């Protein structure tokens, strides 16, 4: 799922007072059960190839999961390559911090660079709101910063959402709905188990759990949901084994069909299993 991010997919701002926030009607549809009984993911590194319209390799992505004291630290790096890079130069790095026991998202830092600009986000996930600092650095022009407060919490970043879904029973027909903020805006995201099937990926056959994903955009001030026209459909296949990680993902988006296929997964031991917390963690 994370490998699809490139294509999907502090100044001061006054937070709304509790009296001004109305509980959204969709809140009752959220899945709020605790982390499931499936064993927590051990420190590991997973790599993916990205392709566009089944015609050409578009880039690669790497996700590294590590531990730091009581925290889980996930770092993802992705970028375009070869001909795709000539058409669209893009690189991104995302680091997220969550409580290892509860998988509750605490902090996320994300930077993405294309031929025109670099955009960086620092996101703090609170119990009742999400605070986002955005810094825009164009190749030409002045640097600007802005702060946004979304009056809803708790919520997931992309990494913690995947780990939360992974922890659940994932029986046929199960549906999990969470508020997920992968960049600077929250989305109402539903994962539905539609079946189990054998999936051959990079010449290797995996037993998989097939999940359909429905995404609705949330207005970060009013929390009113709306359609997410950039993503028409999205599906991921999670390996039905001890790893329970995506081995393939498809998305039909506004520029065509994109996919990600796993090329390697490896467990990390010793010092490689220990990660550093990002510099912004713990700051307001």
Q: Tell me whether residue 278 is in a domain.
A: no
**Which pTM was predicted?**
0.89
225-260 tens-digit pLDDT: 998 878 878 999 999 999 999 999 998 877 678 899
Q: Choose from 79-88, 187-196, 227-236, 253-262 the range with maximum mean pLDDT.
A: 187-196
207-225 tens-digit pLDDT: 999 999 999 999 999 999 9
Domain interval for residue 211: 31-273
Q: Tell me whether residue 187 is in a domain.
A: yes
Question: Number of folded domains in the chain?
Answer: 1
CB proximity list for 255: less than 8 A, separation 6 or greater? 7, 52
Q: Report whether pLDDT(132) > 80.
A: yes
Helix, strand counts (H, E) of the chain: 2, 15
Q: Tell me whether residue 51 is in a domain.
A: yes
For residue 151, give the 3-state DSSP assignment. coil
For residue 20, give the 3-state DSSP assignment. helix
- Find where tokens 């937070």 sit: 15
Q: What is the mean pLDDT of residues 148-170?
A: 96
What residues does 15 pair with on adjacent strands? none
pLDDT, averaged across the chain: 89
Q: Tell me whether residue 16 is in a domain.
A: no
Q: Where are the alpha helices (DSSP H) in the chain?
A: 82-87, 158-167
- Find where tokens 């690669």 sit: 60
Q: What is the mean pLDDT of residues 119-136?
A: 97
For residue 4, give the 3-state DSSP assignment. helix
Q: Tell me whether residue 215 is in a domain.
A: yes
Q: Tell me whether residue 201 is in a domain.
A: yes
5-22 tens-digit pLDDT: 433 332 223 333 343 456
Q: Tell me whether residue 12 is in a domain.
A: no
Torsion of Cα atoms, 30 then 33 then 38 then 42, to 10°: 80
């Amino acid at each position: 799922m994370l490998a699809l991010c490139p294509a999907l997919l502090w100044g001061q701002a006054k937070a709304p007072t509790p009296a001004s926030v109305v509980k959204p009607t969709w809140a009752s549809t959220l899945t709020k059960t605790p982390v499931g009984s499936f064993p927590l993911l051990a420190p590991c590194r997973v790599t993916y190839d990205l392709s566009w319209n089944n015609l050409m390799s578009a880039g690669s992505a790497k996700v590294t999961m590590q531990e730091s004291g009581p925290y889980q630290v996930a770092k993802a790096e992705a970028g375009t390559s070869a001909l795709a890079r000539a058409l669209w130069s893009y690189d991104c790095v995302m680091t997220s911090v969550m409580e290892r026991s509860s998988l509750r998202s605490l902090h996320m830092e994300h930077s993405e660079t294309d031929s025109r600009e670099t955009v960086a986000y620092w996101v703090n996930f609170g119990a009742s709101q999400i605070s986002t600092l955005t810094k825009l650095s164009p190749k030409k022009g002045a640097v600007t910063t802005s702060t946004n407060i979304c009056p809803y919490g708790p919520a997931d970043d992309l990494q913690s959402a995947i780990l939360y879904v992974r922890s659940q029973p994932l029986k046929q027909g199960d549906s999990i709905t969470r508020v997920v903020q992968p960049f600077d805006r929250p989305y109402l995201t539903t994962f539905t188990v539609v079946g189990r099937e054998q999936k051959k990926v990079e010449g290797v056959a995996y037993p998989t759990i097939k999940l359909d994903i429905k995404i609705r955009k949330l207005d970060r001030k009013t929390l009113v949901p709306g359609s997410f026209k950039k993503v028409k459909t999205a599906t991921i296949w999670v390996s039905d084994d001890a790893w329970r990680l995506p081995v393939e993902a498809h998305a039909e988006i506004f520029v065509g069909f994109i996919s990600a296929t796993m090329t390697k997964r490896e467990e990390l031991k010793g010092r490689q299993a220990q990660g550093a917390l990002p510099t912004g963690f713990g700051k307001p």
